[in-house]
Structure 1
């Protein structure tokens, strides 16, 4: 009885000790044979609710992408750089300023390998990935595949015994890969949001000089040519559907030519961003009146001749004629929709074109059904060109976002935060002057007075311009978070007049550097501890990651608060331990973890192992207030804490216990 009680207590203690070591993705693996030399390694993961795992194609500067690494020093097989992925989702991350691509609910990776040494039957693969919820975790999983028996198993480390992770690995070897479930409502809503955005773009295109005057002309044609009102409505309906078909086919063509994955991968590349920067500049100057983007006149003439044939075919070619003739105005907006769609990936080009064309076609159909409404339409005039010019200024501003993306990836420091903001201030300041009538452009009508609506819009744009100005001296500008480069990517990363070497009359301690918000930080545990003993202050251990989303949120929105910032600068010694770096430990410093059994080869692994072995937690951010002499906790550690008052209370309680 006593043995049973002791065994029960031991199991309970073990579970309690490891209850906070999170493992949100459960894996199964299998291997399929394609030919005598080609095999497919399949990794199937089930992701816990509210967690998401990042794709291989997440761009640089954002969260860490998934990688499949091989133990293949002998060159027994060959493998492409990227595996085939199951369905992913893409969403803009305003913290990193990039479009992150991730898996939700389930993930499947299919890695094809080609055997070059027939005598070798063992393939060892390491799966490295980042998974996030309110906290982020970096995970390494190890798998061994037997090419002869066509079996696989998960192991603790290469050469170690197999483990049986949750989900029953052995059972998964004989069963087919799990099917990816249908997208959840949140994904449908994101596509709906993109549809509505493009729908708004279609209505904007209606308010341009190339399209708006054609509404009464086209509707009058249908009502006069049709023998009955019902026939006119039917013809107008066919006309509208034809417009939608033409643009949706364009979206399908973009998806078919490039493919969803190719578009997504392109959106993270330097060349892609530079091409779109130039493209948006061309669009902007076109809308501002420098020139017109037009398709060849011969195209329009040929289409017009086909439109005279009548019937369904004639109406379809009338719709095609509208698309060609109005291209100088709509082409710019269509181009922007496709740019955005390429970043979204998947069905976005089709959804985008469906939304755009629906808004474009709807007025033609409605006014044909109710011709009396034509009398309520405002007359064509100079206001149409004002709309066009306004869009041109917006194009010009957004073009520099693509140039900024390319600069950030290259780390060229050509378009730093101050330069980017100076350009935006100039663009929106000039737009405000234009709206107030102080500047005119080539196609503008003479202005004797401005309307109340134009004056109101001008005041709004001027207010936005004034809001941007303090950003030149380090203001956070939270309203446009994600558009300009981060504050650390600037000429004055430590504030206007700040220095990377000194604060006041104090020299920067040896082994320390300046982190976000100008806080002194150590990235080595022992050096930080030694300095804390010298100055007699508590240690704030910050388990973090370069690609940790919520770590950046804490730094930008909580640590930047004046009360928190004062505490971090004056009352504690910050030791930031990054668990996702690549710097290797020296050979004699490497060791095998007593907790996980894994070989610790890098500083990132060392700090991760410290977090797991000491605190039984593997998620970031994770904050510990510690006494530098005894290395004991001053209060209970906390994770992601976005509430400033709650975080301040936690800090002050720990510091009070230290004193």
Structure 2
């Protein structure tokens, strides 16, 4: 299973762009020692983060990838003297690859001697490919340029920090007063989505998956297999319970690679969630999922995977055999569970809090829901008689899920449009397409339109009629929202914000409040009129930000405070608009890591991270014009708590 997860991660890694401009777990430095007029010693030193390790050049074949140097122009301008020497390594047996692996912990030092052939050579170019691992492995490569006067510059991973970059970095770092106040009472004031709620959503997704034709018919077959093929009833029950446990374990394990993203860079998951091209790719994938639910084609993983797992379960037997049976279920049911899991991934990334932990809670809940019937029916086999028979109702469930997938796909397209500043997919267009989807789903449920895998036309059941009425009611609700009869508060965060409209708006700020999208400009205005600052870390694709603006900020006892008593500075941490060339720079963290700041998202994301030790949105801070913290920071909250928080900040400012 670990190999499967590693394979998935390696395939996804280049797509996510992890190694491009985010933190790598190794910080590299270079040195040059001159040994004679023609001989030099090139030294590469890597500081490895705790818990990570880098593999030696000489680690055993058949295991993890070794470090590998490529020397440019060797044999023409210079020659290598011997092989590259290494600092102290560790050798341990790998149970996965069944070989002795050699690697570095904490520090890796490589030393290579060279002898010049061309005396006019002033630089040596070297590429290092390496693999750094913790729970999973990241392949990376870096180019170094050694100048033979002792200086060294890297051309891609390691960035230099010149005086201009230092000056711009200094502006990004605030000299906050009363900074300790930021976290005081934060647990009581700040609200975050409970992990139990995320677990419940995952559980609900698992229950829906149970009703699909890929999973539902498997329940009686699998339970009967365990109860009839065991010599003792207790043994059959134990095997079924173990089978259920392995189902939960598999979906739990599938969430683990996302924890790596968080450990590599605190902003990587936000980067992934707001990447324009990734959102477009997800849009295409979800449309693809939807049409598979409509019956135009079957979406399956390679049948060879299921065959191999099934063969393995028969061959090894025992607990390991049951584990492979659970893996087989996960593979063969993918055509139904895959799209639902995709929706779960979206839901957890849209929720506030730690995305990786949210996803683990949701995936575990999904696995528990799938596993529960296998365990319950093994304990109470008589219940199998009460199960409804498989039939056309499962096809209806799939088609309804297809419509829901289409609606969800539009969220990704909207994210790409908002983050990319395209100005195409406005609020009214978004809602108009949702209305069309709702209308088509209603017509389908009433039997007016049909899809390829629908059976003979039959009398509509009560459940289908009720669902059709609910679909029609939701469509009417959307129509009332577009016509401004309703405010669509139930959908806050999913459609584009109200100010992102096809009709001309007075302001491009939430609720028409005057706001600043640059901190320095907002700070200068606050000093000029002597008002406190509401610092709003937000995002175009941030669902919870829209919920706060439309459900809390709009309250009649909160809106006047925001409009009249505070200077609102809204900093969008997912805005991919490129900064002017003069404003781009290299920012160096205290750890020594250097990050390139090229767009608005990178600037304000780094600004939030270094000053407030936070990366989630929404995130609110109250400051005086003299950068004095006026209250603890706050994230999602109810309107009453938020109003008290704003008033306390005002009181502290006036005192």
| Counterparts of 1:618 and 1:209, CA distance in 2 | 57
Residue correspondence of structure 1 range 428-507 to structure 2 within 5 A: 428-474=438-484, 475-494=486-505
Contiguous gaps of at least 5 residues in structure 1: 1-32, 41-111, 130-139, 143-155, 157-164, 169-178, 495-499, 501-512, 524-539, 584-607, 621-638, 647-659
Query: Which has the bigger relative contact order, CA under 8 A and spacing at least 6?
Result: 2
> 2:330 is matched with which residue?
323
Q: How many residues align?
A: 417
Question: Structure 2 residue aligned with 1:235, among 239, 256, 262?
Answer: 239
Partner secondary structure for residue 547 of structure 1? strand
CA distance in structure 2 between the aligned counterparts of 1:514 and 1:349, rounded to whole angstroms: 33
Counterpart in the other structure of 1:506 = none
Alignment CA distance shift 1:207-1:543 (3 Å): same
Q: Structure 2 vs 1, CA of residues 181 and 264 (structure 1 numbering), >3 Å: closer, same or farther?
A: farther
CA distance in 2, matches of 1:274, 1:190: 29
Q: Answer yes or no: is the 8 Å Cα contact 1:287–1:389 preserved in 2.
A: yes
Contact 2:445 2:465 in 1 (8 A): yes
Encode CA deviations 1:104-146: one digit per residue, 9 max, x unaligned.
Answer: xxxxxxxx999879x9xx99964758xxxxxxxxxx317xxxx
Cα pair distance change 1:297/1:547, threshold 3 Å: same
1:312 maps to 2:323: no
CA 1:387/1:492 → structure 2, altered by over 3 Å: closer, same or farther? same
Note closer, same or farther for the CA distance 1:380–1:124 as it changes in structure 2 (3 Å cut).
closer
Q: Is the 8 A contact 2:212 2:336 kept in 1?
A: yes
**Structure 2 counterpart of 1:338, from 331, 345, 360:** 345
**What is the CA RMSD across the aligned residues, in angstroms?**
5.2
Matched residues in 1 for 2:422 and 2:490: separation? Answer: 26
- 2:280 corresponds to which of 252, 266, 274: 274
**What's the offset of the Cα at 1:198?**
0.8
Is structure 2 residue 400 aligned with structure 1 residue 390? yes
Instruction: Show the 5 A alignment for 1:269-308.
Output: 269-308=275-314
- Provide the rounded CA distance (Å) in 2 between the counterparts of 1:555 and 1:354: 32
TM-score, length basis structure 2: 0.53
| Number of the residue aligned with 1:527 | none
Q: Deviations over 1:330-359 (max 9, x none)?
A: 122223333444555233333332211111
Q: Give the aligned partner of residue 211 of structure 2.
A: 207
TM superposition shift of 1:233: 0.5
Q: How far does the alpha carbon of each residue in 1:285-340 deviate from its partner, in whole angstroms, 9 at most, with x for none? A: 11111211111122222222222233223222222221122121112222333344
User: Hey, what does 1:223 align to over in structure 2?
Assistant: 227
Normalised by the length of structure 1, the TM-score is 0.53
What is the CA deviation profile of residues 469-524 of structure 1, one whole-angstrom value per residue up to 9, with x for unaligned ones?
13333453222111111121111245xxxxx6xxxxxxxxxxxx79776799999x
Match of 1:141 in 2: 175
Q: Is the alpha carbon distance of 1:365 and 1:412 closer, same or farther for their aligned partners in structure 2, counting shifts above 3 Å?
A: same
Q: CA deviation at 1:609?
A: 13
Distance, in Å, in 2 between the alignment partners of 1:193 and 1:521 is 33
- What's 1:248 paired with? 252
Residue ranges of structure 2 left out of the alignment (5+ in a row): 1-26, 32-44, 48-156, 518-528, 539-543, 573-578, 580-620, 633-640, 648-655
**Distance in 2, Cα, partners of 1:641 & 1:411:** 32
Question: What secondary structure does 1:308 align onto?
Answer: helix
**Residue of structure 1 in register with 2:81 after alignment:** none
Report the 3-state secondary structure (helix = DSSP H, G, I; strand = E; otherwise coil) of the residue aligned with 1:141: coil
- C-alpha distance in 2 between matches for 1:516 and 1:237: 52
How big is the shift at 1:248? 2.1
1:612/1:387 Cα in 2 relative to 1: closer, same or farther (>3 Å)? Answer: same
